[in-house]
Amino acid sequence: MTSPETEPRQVFLSEEDGWAYGPWGRGFLRCGTVVYSGCSIGERLETGHNVVIREDCELGDDVSIWSNTVIDYGTVIGDGVKIHCNCYVAQYTEIGDGAFLAPGVSIANDLYPGQEGSREVMSGPLIGAGAQLGVNVTVLPFVRIGEGAIIGAGSVVTRDVEPGVVAFGNPARVQGRVADLVPVEDRVDGAARPAGHRYSLRVDDAPGGEEPLP
């Protein structure tokens, strides 16, 4: 990873193959991507359309950021992180290696918006390595999500989540451990369904007749 520079960075676009070349090396920046100066970016950054990466961010190697996502300033993103479409990552958020943010994840950093004292101490959450956040998850300021945790779709995370657990709901509560999840092959039926769907979800095979963790 290169170090931040005070001078504006320059990106060279190859019209032939769409690859972008900058001080960080080779990446693939699609149409509409904006990278502010002062960022530190690892190798092989790949973006979708209309991505904005604000100033003074630190991105590791092999980061993917998809269309219409905004990474606000001062954010630190580790190696191999994947951030899907339509996400907002607030200032001063930290995301560990290999984490995944599904479409529509929103991250906040201001405990009392509009108050001067809150603005002075605003801080995004810390998302641990390998954590997975489902579609439309909201994470509030100062929260710590542990390594390898899974946050279910639509959840609002208001408190710390320990490593290796499954949490969901509003507010999100721990519902079990990742190690105890029903294996995918035991939940998915390979029989074809109408309209060309190849798979369907089985819900009648959970222990005790209960719904399995999502």
pLDDT digits (tens, 9 = 90+) for 51-68: 999 999 999 999 999 999
Predicted model pTM: 0.83
68 in Cβ contact with 86 (< 8 Å): yes
Tokens of 90: 């607030």
CB neighbourhood size of 195 (10 A): 5
Q: Give dist(CA 86, CA 70) in Å, integer.
A: 8
Q: Which residues contact 155 (CB under 8 A, 6 or more apart)?
A: 134, 137, 138, 167, 168, 169, 170, 171, 172
Would the pLDDT of 94 be above 70?
Answer: yes
- Percentage of residues in the chain having pLDDT higher than 90: 63
Span 139-149, pLDDT tens digits: 999 999 999 99
The model's pLDDT over 169-182, given as tens digits with 9 standing for 90+, comes to: 999 999 999 999 98
Residue closest to 166 by CA, chosen among 186, 183, 145, 139: 145
Residues 6 or more apart whose Cβ sits within 8 Å of residue 1 = 24, 40, 41, 42, 58, 59, 60, 61
